[in-house]
Structure 1
Amino acid sequence: MQIKKVAVLGAGAVGSYVIWGLSQAENLSLGVIAEGERAGRLKENGCLINGQVYRPEVWTPKEAHGADLLIVSLKYGALAGALDSIAQAVGEHTIVMSLMNGVDSEEIIAQKVNPDNILHALIKVASHKEENGYCFNPETTIGIIFGEIKPPFESERVQAVCTLFENAQIHFRVTDYIKEEMWSKFRLNVCNNLPQAILGAGVGCYNDSTHMKAISEGLKKELEAIAQAKGIDIGKADKSSSHGSAVLPKTRYSTLQDLDAGRHTEIDMFSGALMRMGKELGIPTPYNEYTYHIIKALEEKNDGKFDYSKDTQESTWSK
């Protein structure tokens, strides 16, 4: 098995790393799936990554159909609306790899495609948007971690993806514990991504504040209780996957980046998913519930919902 055609759905922070890395591969057809105005912009402007313009092909879902590998790197909120496009792009032998870093995107994608096409994966890349495009440090980026959820772990498709990444500039690692690794990354996101987004400070806040550490630990305990109830032993991934890419104390992770830019976040993928699972399992999630609602309120603030500067506003009683 040889991977000769790769389609990428989602050319943002995560997709940019994939496009950057695979653009170095020889004898590979690489394209971004897009339609309408977005397709026109990509064709005209390309993808600006680390100050350089990359020009992968731009395909409709039908043109991408039958790709050997489809990498889904969308924002979580865009996934439901993209399911039909994913279904159109996936052929009988297409490997589908989701790099959305939650723990349920594979289940959502499997509503539209054969679950056997899905190769579970996660990505660790500290990417952010600047004037010179999406930026990341290639040297410190951990990259893509993937594997089969059941034996044989060294399957033909795993070996094919390894060969592809080896001939590109993608950092990667194969694991026999991909579900545990995914939950370990999920824990990093929930515990390190969300509290700093509420505070509006760099990740150094976790080392510099016992209060921030306490919030992070509260979120962590709830997540680990849910994982244990679901039979996920995150400890199997602790030695290999308990930390992310090296970053500076001022680093602002994706949730805070979204709030800074006035965008809606992926809180539904994080605390929203944990709240849902907690209710299903009878496990209280007060830290995640508070975090969910406060970040949703910050989104509303960005949307202008709390702009009371107009003189026409009616009076309200103080309490």
Structure 2
Amino acid sequence: MEIKSVALLGAGAVGSYIIWGLSKLPDIRFGIIAEGSRAARLRDEGCSINNVTYHPQVWSPQEAKGVDLLIVALKYGALPGALASIREAVGPNTTVMSLMNGVDSEKIIAGAIDSKQILPALIKIASRHDGNGVRFNPEKTIGIVFGEAQAPFESERVLAIEALMRSADIHIRHTDCINEEIWCKFRLNVCNNLPQAVIGAGLGCYRDSEHMRAIKEGLRRELEDIAAAKGIDMSKCPASSGRGSAVPPSVRYSTLQDLDAGRHTEIDMFSGALMAMGKELGIPTPYNEYTYHIIKALEEKNDGLFDYSGQNKENTCAR
């Protein structure tokens, strides 16, 4: 088996790593799936990645139909609306790899296509938006971790995708415990991504504040209790799976980046999902419930809900 055609759905911070790598391979048919104004913008402006503008092909889902590999790198909130495009682009021999955060994107995608075509995966990359572009350090990027959910783990498609990505200088590693690794990445996101977003501080806050470490620990305990109840043995993951890319203490992860930019976050995929699983399993999730609601309130603040300027002032009393 050889991968000769690849389509990408989602050209943001994660998708940019794929564009950066695959655009250098002359023998691979590669394109971004987009429609309407987004497609026109990609054709006109391209993608700015590490101060270089790339102009990959832009395809409709119909033009991408039957590609060997479809990579989904969307924001969580965009996935339900993209299921029709995924269904249209996937052919009988297409492998689908989701590089989205969270633990349920594969399950959502499986509602639109044959679940056997999905190859579970995750990505670890410290990228950031820089003006109209994206920046990351290719050398320090951990990259893609992926694998079959059950044996044989070194399947034909696993080896073909690994060969493709290595030829593109994309860091990649296959594993025989991919579900556990996805949950380890989920833990990293919930515990490192969310608390800093609440206070608006760089990643160094966990090093410098016992209070931030206590919040992080509370979120971790709830997540690990739920994982254990679902039969996820996170001890199977190598020690490296619990770490992200080396970054300075000033780094602001994706949730805080979204709030800084006035965008809605992926909190539903993080604490929202854990709250739902906790309710189903009878496991309390007070740290995640608070985190969920405070970040939702910060989104409302960005939306202008709490802008009371110009409203008639009413007398208030403090008691």
Q: Above 0.5 in TM-score?
A: yes
- SS of the equivalent of 1:270 reads helix
Change (3 A) 1:36 1:280: same
Q: How does 1:91-240 map to 2 (within 5 A)?
A: 91-131=91-131, 133-240=133-240
- Equivalent in the alignment of 2:61: 61
**What is the distance in 2 between the residues matched to 1:149 and 1:100?**
17
Q: State the AA in 1 paired with 2:138.
A: P
- For residues 225-252 of structure 1, give each alpha carbon's deviation from its aligned partner in whole angstroms, at most 9, with x where no partner exists: 0000000001111423110011010000
Q: CA deviation at 1:131?
A: 2.4
**What is the distance in 1 between the residues matched to 2:79 and 2:314?**
40
Q: How does 1:264-303 map to 2 (within 5 A)?
A: 264-303=264-303
**What is the distance in 2 between the residues matched to 1:43 and 1:294?**
39
The answer on whether the counterparts of 2:76 and 2:101 sit within 8 Å (CA) in structure 1 is no
How many residue pairs match? The answer is: 319
The answer on whether the counterparts of 1:51 and 1:132 sit within 8 Å (CA) in structure 2 is no
Q: How does 1:26-45 map to 2 (within 5 A)?
A: 26-45=26-45
Gaps in structure 1 of 5+ consecutive residues: none
**What is the distance in 1 between the residues matched to 2:313 and 2:155?**
64
Q: CA deviation at 1:317?
A: 6.3
**What is the distance in 2 between the residues matched to 1:268 and 1:316?**
35
**What is the distance in 1 between the residues matched to 2:132 and 2:299?**
26
- Equivalent in the alignment of 1:71: 71
**What is the distance in 2 between the residues matched to 1:230 and 1:315?**
53
Q: State the AA in 1 paired with 2:283.
A: I
Q: State the AA in 2 paired with 1:123.
A: I
Q: CA deviation at 1:145?
A: 0.3
Q: CA deviation at 1:152?
A: 0.3
**What is the distance in 1 between the residues matched to 2:238 and 2:207?**
20
- Equivalent in the alignment of 1:248: 248
Q: CA deviation at 1:79?
A: 0.4
- SS of the equivalent of 1:21 reads helix
The answer on whether the counterparts of 1:195 and 1:215 sit within 8 Å (CA) in structure 2 is yes
Instruction: Report the aligned-residue RMSD.
Output: 1.1
Which runs of at least 4 in structure 1 moved beyond 6 Å after TM superposition? Answer: none
- For residues 272-298 of structure 1, give each alpha carbon's deviation from its aligned partner in whole angstroms, at most 9, with x where no partner exists: 000000001000000000000000000
The answer on whether the counterparts of 1:50 and 1:132 sit within 8 Å (CA) in structure 2 is no
Q: CA deviation at 1:2?
A: 0.9
- SS of the equivalent of 2:126 reads coil
- SS of the equivalent of 2:31 reads strand
- Equivalent in the alignment of 1:260: 260
The answer on whether the counterparts of 1:71 and 1:99 sit within 8 Å (CA) in structure 2 is yes
- Equivalent in the alignment of 1:46: 46
**What is the distance in 2 between the residues matched to 1:275 and 1:29?**
42
Q: Which moved more, 1:123-132 or 1:176-185?
A: 123-132
- SS of the equivalent of 1:97 reads strand
- For residues 44-72 of structure 1, give each alpha carbon's deviation from its aligned partner in whole angstroms, at most 9, with x where no partner exists: 11110000011110000111110100000
Q: CA deviation at 1:26?
A: 3.0
The answer on whether the counterparts of 1:140 and 1:245 sit within 8 Å (CA) in structure 2 is yes
- Equivalent in the alignment of 1:309: 309
The answer on whether the counterparts of 1:13 and 1:129 sit within 8 Å (CA) in structure 2 is yes
Change (3 A) 1:224 1:316: same
Please say if 1:14 is aligned against 2:18: no
The answer on whether the counterparts of 1:106 and 1:118 sit within 8 Å (CA) in structure 2 is yes
The answer on whether the counterparts of 1:83 and 1:109 sit within 8 Å (CA) in structure 2 is yes
The answer on whether the counterparts of 1:184 and 1:238 sit within 8 Å (CA) in structure 2 is no
TM-score of the two chains, using structure 2 as the length reference:
0.98
**What is the distance in 1 between the residues matched to 2:105 and 2:315?**
45
The answer on whether the counterparts of 1:26 and 1:167 sit within 8 Å (CA) in structure 2 is no
Q: CA deviation at 1:156?
A: 0.5
Change (3 A) 1:310 1:213: same
**What is the distance in 2 between the residues matched to 1:292 and 1:311?**
29
Q: CA deviation at 1:315?
A: 5.6
